[in-house]
Amino acid sequence: MTNYQTDIAENGGHYWLKRYYFARAAFSIIWVAAALTAGRQSFTIAAILLIIYPAWDAAANYVDAARNGGLANNRSQAINVAVSLIMTVAVIVALTMSMNWVLGGFGLWAIFSGLSQLATAVRRWKTSGGQWAMILSGGQSAIAGAFFIAQALKPVEPSIANVAGYAGLGAFYFLVSAVWLTVSQMRQKTA
């Protein structure tokens, strides 16, 4: 592969990752807005939003992995896809029990998906910019998961607002990574 072909491949990968991070941030921002407005007013809407969130995560990780060599070459994302799909089903079941069960399930999911995100970011560290934010996001997700589990064990019933803060932080980190990649690409073009 020539230097020109390598540059095109790397820029195409950065372009994809930037778009991917912007899409993840936009989805999370819209999800948080819906959760804090309609989701707080209607249990049905909250339930739908709580089911959609891990399903979206599974789909997004699948598309990103497929775009970057497939699930076999991206094991951390393959794990994230599996965990997110399991969580989607678990939320459906937990919603028939109580919001405490839902929040506890989100806690387990946040731990596993956060660690998977952290592993993906570490793997991408040398080839892609903005990964420091994804590393922080993955680590913070795992910590938030433990906090969710602790909250779920309390007698007070949680609401979708408990998850909305978590999703909001995720949106922030995806946005930071997308902006970081955008600025890096602009600097490379001017250099």
8, pLDDT greater than 60: no
d(CA 2, CA 6): 6
Which residues span the domain enclosing 150? 21-190
- Angstrom CA distances, 183 to 39, 123, 126, 176, stand at 35, 21, 17, 11
Q: Look up residue 128 and give its DSSP letter.
A: -
Name the band, by pLDDT with cuts 50, 70 and 90, for residue 184: confident
Count structural domains, the chain. 1
Any domain includes 1: no
Amino acid in the structure at residue 74: N
* Structure tokens given for 72: 């076999």
Residue-level pLDDT at 1: 38
Any domain includes 107: yes
Any domain includes 9: no
Q: For the residues 171-177, what does the mean pLDDT come to?
A: 92
* Structure tokens given for 33: 């807005």
Average pLDDT over all residues of the chain: 89
Q: What is the pLDDT of residues 50-107, one digit of tens each?
A: 999 999 999 999 999 999 889 999 999 999 999 999 999 999 999 999 999 999 999 9
Any domain includes 7: no
Any domain includes 39: yes
Amino acid in the structure at residue 72: A
Any domain includes 85: yes
Residue-level pLDDT at 12: 54
Q: Tell me what percent of the residues of the chain surpass a pLDDT of 90.
A: 73
Any domain includes 181: yes
Q: Angle 145-164-179 (CA atoms, 0-180°, nearest 5)? A: 90
* Structure tokens given for 142: 């795992």
Residue-level pLDDT at 68: 86
Name the band, by pLDDT with cuts 50, 70 and 90, for residue 7: very low
Q: For the residues 163-190, what does the mean pLDDT come to?
A: 88
Residue-level pLDDT at 13: 62
d(CA 64, CA 16): 9
**Dihedral, 181, 183, 188, 191 alpha carbons, nearest 10:** -170
pTM of the model: 0.86
- How many other CB atoms are there within 10 angstroms of residue 95's CB atom? 18
d(CA 89, CA 59): 14
Any domain includes 52: yes
Residue-level pLDDT at 5: 32
Q: What is the pLDDT of residues 144-156, one digit of tens each?
A: 999 999 999 999 9
